[in-house]
Chains A and B, each alone.
Chain A
Amino acid sequence: MTDTSTQLREPWANFSRQQEAGKFGIWVFLASEVLFFGALMLTYTVCRIEHTEAFAAAGRETNIWYGTANTAILLTSSLTMAMAAQAAAAPERFRRLVLGCLLTTAALGLAFLVVKGFEYKEDIDKHLVPGSHFALPQAGAQLFYGLYWLITGVHAVHLSIGIVLVSRLILLGYLRKIELRENPEVEVTALYWHLVDIVWIFLYPLIYLPGRAS
């Protein structure tokens, strides 16, 4: 076990208890995030129930290739994040592996935002922004895109926070400001990252898959 007294913080007596508390605290916070995005998905579900045709039509307008690519990117980033967390928690010294995986995760996060940027630009060109000159005639379609912009926007904000957290770990770890091995912060960042990925896992079938079959 490394010398963990440097990482021991108020008011904890021993380090393993502090780690457990950190992990439990992030899980409780993730429960609140589940409610946060759950409420957004409920709004989507109720609007979709009340306007099934319009939501199918609007769903067909979304670019499914961007959506699928982004989902693949985030799933891969979850892989590399999980690797980083498990490697950091392992007693052996996987310092280069941990830094490598963290770097890949941050890169994949940025890739997601870039793809999202292209998609947003394409949506704007196709007049898919709710307002006066909206492309689709049905009223419900404006609801779909109102929710589309809001939910993907909120998700992108959460993803950006995730990228900042991962980059912070990379920087401090690389400059040896903090010891990455058995550092609870790596595990907490990983859990938060996985939540952002899970939110997208549910967003994908809601935004990109409706209306494809008819």
Chain B
Amino acid sequence: MTTPNEKTSSASDLWRLNLLIWATLMALLFASLALAYVPMGFLTPAAGIIIGFAKAGLVVFLFMELASSRALIWLAALSGLVFVAALFALTLADVLSRSG
């Protein structure tokens, strides 16, 4: 439960903040769409994925209010990320260094 902000938040306050986040997300979406058509070798897919992380970050920290959550919630979110990273890193260590 987020800590209720000091002054009573009126509906318009809520809308203003969230609409700003939403606009950023849509901008990022169209940016990734545009970048996909720019031939930059391996940078093109990388750009798509980096923008994906950016959008996911926005949703997690602001929409899901991880930014204002207790340390315990950070722990849960972080643990998922750490072990997915380990899964990717060690599996790709095999796939990329396989000869022939």
Contacts and interface: CB of A to CB of B under 8 A. Distances in A.
A35 interface: yes
Contacts of A117: none
Contacts of A30: 76-77, 80
A190 to B, nearest CB: 8
Given A42-B91, A68-B29, A89-B2, A75 B55 contact: yes
* Secondary structure dominating the interface of B: helix
B79 A31 contact: yes
B9 interface: yes
B7 to A, nearest CB: 11
Contact of A86 (B18, B22, B56): B18
Contact of A213 (B39, B56, B81): B39
B90 to A, nearest CB: 10
A20 B76 CA distance: 13
Interface string A67-109: 0100110011011011100110111101001000000000000
Interface residues of A, number: 58
A213 B38 contact: yes
Interface residues of B, number: 55
Interface string B1-36: 110100011110011001101100110011011001
A50 B18 CA distance: 41
A214 B43 CA distance: 12
Given A39-B87, A46-B91, A209-B32, A90 B14 contact: yes
A138 interface: no
Interface in B45-68: 45, 48-49, 51-52, 55-56, 59-60, 62-65
